[in-house]
Amino acid sequence: MSQGFISVYRKIFDNPIYFCEKFDRTHAWLDLILIANHKDGCFFNRGVQVEIKRGQIGYSLENISKRWRWSKGKVKRFLDALQTERQIEYQNTNVTTIITILNYDTYQLNGTQNGTQNAPQTDYQMERQIAPQTERKQYTKQYTKRVTNNNDNNDNNIKKKEKEKRKISIPEFQPEIKPLTETSINEVSFQKKSIHELVIEKHSQFYEQKVNVKYLFNGGADGRAAKEIIAHLQKAARDKGKPDDDDSIIKAWEFILSEHDKWDAFYRPQLKMIQIRNNLVNILANIKGIKNGSTKQNNNNALNQFLARAATADNAS
């Protein structure tokens, strides 16, 4: 049985890697332990005070399904399985779902705190530790011989390829160089990037700046998400009587990305194009300072006020 434990800082939620993929069952179980209250507390939901004890979670199935990117049915089946295994208990109330991690203190207190490492080892390391000394020497000798032979074969292959290259005679190529004329210069066309390409380009730059990793664009899902973001901002601009031309929409999109530090902590790690599209209304509300859970009218007002601010910032620049 594995012994010891490690401390995991909850700031891991701010790392985009944590939410970059759908959760599996192990990821979901660890997430439950991480989001459980470490001390007694309470919160208000729809005007009702909900008491939460140490080791409990007050999340609705709908919020959990969004967090894990599962269906509500899959979340319920997973919680039912954990409850059957006596890992948790959960009950639905009229305002939320209360999940209790059974033996919560076991995950916090038991085990040593000296950083004991129980990581699996490679076959080579395990054989060196288990085998007798004579067998260990023989294994090392065979391993070294195998590596040496591989290096010799690689050198021979390289030398053979170099000889074959020298045998091939390549005729000298002299390109025909024509002087530039006014006609030839006019024939060169500089095509302006479309708004769709610019939205994707700005997002890729934003993602690489935040994560320090190049964004892997999904032409299907991300392409549709970019079109929906453009349509959403254009409609909001028209409803407010603001310009909905390409330059105005790009300025608004840049403004949204530049205000990343004002996004709610739940949305800040969700940096993929499709994730921003799904959270766009709430992100706009966050930028304006409206908390999550506001009414649809408040979100629409926040969007209109945001567009006015973006237009003001554009004029100032």
Is the residue at 190 inside a domain? no
Is the residue at 125 inside a domain? no
Q: Which among 305, 269, 101, 134 has a CA at the least distance from the CA of 279?
A: 269
Q: Do 206 and 306 share a domain, yes or no? A: yes
Is the residue at 281 inside a domain? yes
- Three-class secondary structure of residue 54 per DSSP: coil
Q: Looking at residue 167, what is its pLDDT? A: 58
Last residue of a domain, one of 109, 141, 174: 109
Distance between CA atoms of residues 188 and 310, nearest Å: 35
- Roughly how many angstroms between the first and final C-alpha of the chain, as a whole number? 63
Whether this model's pTM surpasses 0.85: no
Q: Domain limits at 211?
A: 195-316
Q: Looking at residue 313, what is its pLDDT? A: 58
The pLDDT tens digits of the residues spanning 111-163 come to: 333 333 333 333 333 333 333 444 444 544 554 454 445 555 556 666 776 66
Q: Which H/E stretch holds residue 98?
A: strand 97-101
Confidence of residue 244 (pLDDT cuts 50, 70, 90): confident
Q: Do 209 and 101 share a domain, yes or no? A: no
Is the residue at 234 inside a domain? yes
Q: Do 99 and 204 share a domain, yes or no? A: no
Output DSSP code: residue 293. Answer: T
Is the residue at 115 inside a domain? no
Distance between CA atoms of residues 122 and 79, nearest Å: 35
Q: Which H/E stretch holds residue 41?
A: strand 41-45
Last residue of a domain, one of 109, 130, 155: 109
Count of domains in the chain?
2
User: Over 90: is that where the pLDDT of 70 sits?
Assistant: yes
Structure tokens, 92: 């639905």
Q: Do 310 and 200 share a domain, yes or no? A: yes
Distance between CA atoms of residues 149 and 293, nearest Å: 66
Is the residue at 162 inside a domain? no
Last residue of a domain, one of 49, 77, 109: 109
The pLDDT tens digits of the residues spanning 15-63 come to: 888 888 999 999 999 999 999 998 999 888 888 888 999 999 998 999 9
Is the residue at 45 inside a domain? yes
Q: Do 208 and 308 share a domain, yes or no? A: yes
CB-count burial class (<10 Å; 0-12, 13-18, 19+) for 5: middle
Contact 274, 289 (CB under 8 A): no
Helices of type H across the chain: 16-19, 25-35, 61-68, 72-84, 104-109, 123-130, 133-167, 182-187, 195-211, 221-240, 246-258, 273-288, 296-316
Is the residue at 21 inside a domain? yes
Q: Do 199 and 312 share a domain, yes or no? A: yes
Confidence of residue 293 (pLDDT cuts 50, 70, 90): very low
Contact 51, 42 (CB under 8 A): yes
Distance between CA atoms of residues 13 and 4, nearest Å: 23
Q: What is the CATH number of the domain that holds 86?
A: 1.10.10.10
Alpha carbon separation from 171 to 56, 166, 168 (Å, rounded): 77, 13, 10
Chain length of the chain: 317
Contact 302, 284 (CB under 8 A): yes
